[in-house]
Amino acid sequence: MFLEKANELFDYTVDIRRKMHKIPELAGKEEETVKLVCQKLGQMGVSYDIVNQGGILGFIDGNKNNNNPKTILLRADLDALPFDEPDNNLSKPRIVKSKNEGVMHACGHDGHTSILLTAARILNEVKDDFAGSVILCFERGEESGKGYKYLLAYLDSKNINIDACYAIHVSPDYKSGVMAIGAGGINAGSLAFDITIKGNSGHGSRPYEANNPLDCFVDIYSGLKSLRMNNFSPFDPMTYSIGVVQMGNKYNQIPDKLRFRGSMRFFDREKVGYKFYEDFKSLIINKSKANNCKVIFDTYTKPRFPIINDLNLSALALTSMTDELGEDFVKEASPSMGSDTFATYSYQWPSLYIMLGINNEEKGSGAALHSPKFDLDEKALIHGTAATARFVVDFLNSDIELADRPYKNRLRDFFIEEDRSDEEIEDIYETITR
Residue 105, annotated as binding a ligand: no
CA distances from 364 to 17, 174, 198, 264, 360 (A): 18, 14, 48, 31, 6
DSSP symbols for 299-312: EEPPPPPPEEE-HH
- Of 12, 274, 300, 429, the catalytic one is 300
Task: Determine the distance from the C-alpha atom of residue 36 to the mean position of all C-alpha atoms in its chain, rounded to a whole number.
Answer: 21
Task: Please report the DSSP string for 132-189 in residue order.
Answer: SEEEEEEES-TTTT-SHHHHHHHHHHTT---SEEEEEEEEEEEETTPEEE--EEEE-E
Is 429 catalytic? The answer is no
Residues 108 and 358: their CA atoms lie apart, in Å, by 10
How buried is 177 (Cβ within 10 angstroms: 0-12 exposed, 13-18 middle, 19+ buried)? Answer: buried
What does each C-alpha distance from 26 to 187, 300, 342 come to in angstroms? Answer: 23, 25, 18
Residue of 240, 324, 378, 407 marked active site: 378
169 is in an annotated binding site: yes
Burial class from Cβ neighbours inside 10 Å (0-12, 13-18, 19+) for residue 374 reads: buried
Q: Please tell me what DSSP assigns to residue 362.
A: G
* Annotated binding residue 383: no
- The size of the chain, in residues, is 434
* 208 assigned to active site: no
Question: 107 among the known binding-site residues?
Answer: yes
417 known member of a binding site: no
Contact 279, 273 (CB under 8 A): no
Active site (catalytic) residues: 300, 378
List binding-site positions: 107, 109, 143, 169, 370
List binding-site positions for Mn(2+): 107, 109, 143, 169, 370
